[in-house]
Homo-oligomer: A and B are copies of this chain.
Amino acid sequence: MEIIKDIALMRTRCRERKLKGDKIGFVPTMGALHKGHLSLIKRAREDCDFTVVSIFVNPTQFGPEEDFKRYPRNLSEDLRLCEEEGVDVVFAPLKESMYPDGFSTWVEVKGMLTETLEGTFRPGHFKGVTTVLTKLFNIVLPDYSYFGEKDYQQAMVVKKMVQELNIDTEIILLPTVRERDGLACSSRNSYLSPEERKKAAVLYNSLLKAKQEVERGEKDPSIITSLIRHLIEKEGSFKIDYVAVVNPDTLEPVDRIRGKTLITIAAWIGGTRLIDNILI
């Protein structure tokens, strides 16, 4: 496994493989790898001839009050996991080379898709995501790029960007990987105290209960969001950013549940913000 920090060298490697006709699989991450990331890497390894994992805590997708500084970083353990999974290259560029002084080019998806849900609570977040991913796609030249359903809205935004900018990669979206009690794997779970960690399971459990209610015939989204809010609030310690029942393609709120629907939540427990969702 090769570890590359240099942008030009990373591209040279990828160009060489493209010329050979190899398919490049790409898993962009911010490190602190967990089972969710590993499922993306395993799939990339199956689909492709050459697997690149990027590890870059992207400053531009964090708000000024957010957790950029304390975001978990554990490069040596990440490298060990990548090696174990048979990754070909870990790309770990420096902040200064990704965003040199005077950097001022931005890629932005405008409209509902980036303004709703996470966009409301994390203004500027998606602009940072789309900009860094455009850069990474241009460096790695991936045939396939892998994302997890936990960040469902991000995946929708990235798909729209890739389509509208004609970026030559296919976005593959894989199911959320969960801990035994249902909590969605996330690098931010490491912020949780043991007590918070126990309580955090309520997020997915409330989504499962909501799903059951829908399957039992409940079609009113406001009943469903009330149920979820009630279950989370009963647990104490949570501050809910949103609970929403939306069209999974447009992320617009639905006024009646029929066909494919996404239920998505974001909530704080102590100083940790968690998100989760379920497709029904």
Residues of A bordering B, CB below 8 Å = 7, 11, 15, 18-19, 21, 100, 102-111, 113, 130-131, 134-135, 138-139, 141, 160-161, 164-168
Contact = CB atoms under 8 A, between A and B. Distances in A.
Contacts of A130: 105
Contact of A104 (B106, B110, B141): B110
Most B-side CB within 10 Å, residue of A103, A105, A134, A167 = A105
A135 B107 CA distance: 12
How many copies of this chain sit in the oligomeric assembly? 2
Given A19-B19, A19-B21, A104-B160, A138 B166 contact: yes
Nearest to A161: B105
Given A105-B109, A105-B165, A138-B167, 11 more contacts: A7-B166, A11-B166, A104-B164, A105-B108, A105-B130, A106-B108, A107-B107, A108-B108, A135-B164, A135-B165, A135-B166
A280 B110 CA distance: 41
A108 B109 CA distance: 11
Contacts of A110: 104-106
A105 to B, nearest CB: 4
Nearest to A11: B168
Contacts of A168: 11, 15, 138, 141
Given A18-B18, A19-B21, A21-B19, A165 B134 contact: yes
A134 B134 CA distance: 10
A166 B19 CA distance: 19
B107 A105 contact: yes
Contacts of A164: 100, 103-105, 135
A168 B142 CA distance: 13
Nearest to A131: B165
CB-CB nearest 9 A-B residue pairs:
A105-B164, A138-B166, A104-B110, A104-B111, A135-B166, A105-B109, A139-B166, A105-B161, A107-B107
Contacts of A113: 104
14 contacts: A7-B166, A18-B19, A19-B19, A19-B21, A100-B164, A102-B111, A103-B164, A104-B160, A104-B164, A105-B160, A105-B161, A107-B107, A107-B134, A138-B168
Nearest to A135: B166
A3 to B, nearest CB: 19
Nearest to A164: B105
A125 to B, nearest CB: 16
A148 B102 CA distance: 25
Contacts of A166: 7, 11, 135, 138-139
Contacts of A11: 166, 168
